[in-house]
Amino acid sequence: MTAAPANDIEFRSVTKRYGTVTAVSDINLAVPKGAFVALLGPSGCGKTTCLRMIGGFEQPSEGTVLIDGREMNGVPAYRRPVNMVFQHYALFPHFDVEQNVAYGLKQARPKLAAAEISARAREALEMVRLGGFERRRIHEMSGGQQQRVALARAIVNKPSVLLLDEPLAALDKKLRTAMQIELQTLQRELGITFMLVTHDQEEALSMSDMVCVMNAGRIVQMDRPQDIYDRPADLFVADFVGKTNRISATVEPDGATLRLSNGMALAARSGLRPGAATVALRPEAIDLVRQSNGEGSPLAGIVTHRIFLGSTAEYQISVDGLGDFLVTADRRSMQEGDLVEPGERVALTFDPGKVHVFPA
């Protein structure tokens, strides 16, 4: 008896080339069973290609894709134990809702009884809260409803992995938030691996328990969402996930002191490689202090813009010698009910432990 493989999906040095263009280069990836993984990256980073290689719509130029521990090279899409929610749903326009959902069941060999097909299709529709819509035509459904039909259609075959290609991109913001919660609930109920492709970092961070950031055909970082945010592997991740202030700096020869380009010195964690570096600092890691008397602070500037967001406010601050900074201020951290007005002079303070230093 062989032990069940621990990984649902595995990429072993997978490369995909289209002519001379390399879409995905030398990717290694292991997705444990039951995980909710997000492939996050800008458009053209190869994330969709990865998903399509799992689905069987593309074959890797080099390397191997494994599903459930089985090599999938050369296995056509219709023989793979995965199902996909397509970007624009790709629902069959000539079928009604139930026929769409039942389509996958009808392909099963040996054939299933018509009663069982119908029962399971309805069960899947119930799961996505579309009971009662069985006889509707696709074009009579709203975008959010079509999304649910696509979900029901993809889970009805009980795949071991569900692939989601930008599933929420076409929905409005409110619906998107609701669907994020629903997708998470669905994943817990089904207990199967979800693999989501998205360019929306918020979506990736909020839904998945593992985020895989891709750039230019490579995996840059694979971690839990909070680690991606708190400990970005490089400047690209820091920039792409969340907002970041970038400051050019130099690491002093002692490897523990940072000198920002305006001359300010910072004590950083030791062991840095001396030389040019870029410092990344999250907007919410900075505190603002009003500087009415103009006394010297190493980091000060004038508020140029304020974006009021309700519980927080975002400030754009022109910092002396360093250019524009973005600062997010929690309103409770401010003094009694006040917001800093544009034109006011403020000092910026932050915990040096919260900066990320990347070699330039």
Task: Catalog residues that contact another protein under the rule CB under 8 A.
Answer: 55-57, 76-79, 82-84, 86-88, 90-94, 103-104, 107-108, 137, 153-154, 157
Q: How far is the CB of 54 from another protein (least distance, A)?
A: 11
The C-alpha atoms of residue 243 and residue 327 are separated, in whole angstroms, by 10
- Which residue type is seen at 200? D
Q: How many CB atoms lie within 10 A of CB 4?
A: 8
Distances (CA, A) of 319 to 60, 232, 265, 324: 49, 24, 16, 6
Q: How far is the CB of 345 from another protein (least distance, A)?
A: 35
Give 188's contacts (C-beta < 8 A, 6+ positions apart).
none
Q: How far is the CB of 117 from another protein (least distance, A)?
A: 13
For another protein, give the closer residue by CB, 103 or 229.
103
The C-alpha atoms of residue 104 and residue 355 are separated, in whole angstroms, by 51
Q: How far is the CB of 104 from another protein (least distance, A)?
A: 4
For another protein, give the closer residue by CB, 192 or 355.
192
For another protein, give the closer residue by CB, 126 or 140.
140
Q: How far is the CB of 161 from another protein (least distance, A)?
A: 12
Q: How far is the CB of 95 from another protein (least distance, A)?
A: 9
Distance of CA 261 to the CA centre of its chain: 32
Give 267's contacts (C-beta < 8 A, 6+ positions apart).
256, 257, 258, 352
The C-alpha atoms of residue 272 and residue 256 are separated, in whole angstroms, by 6
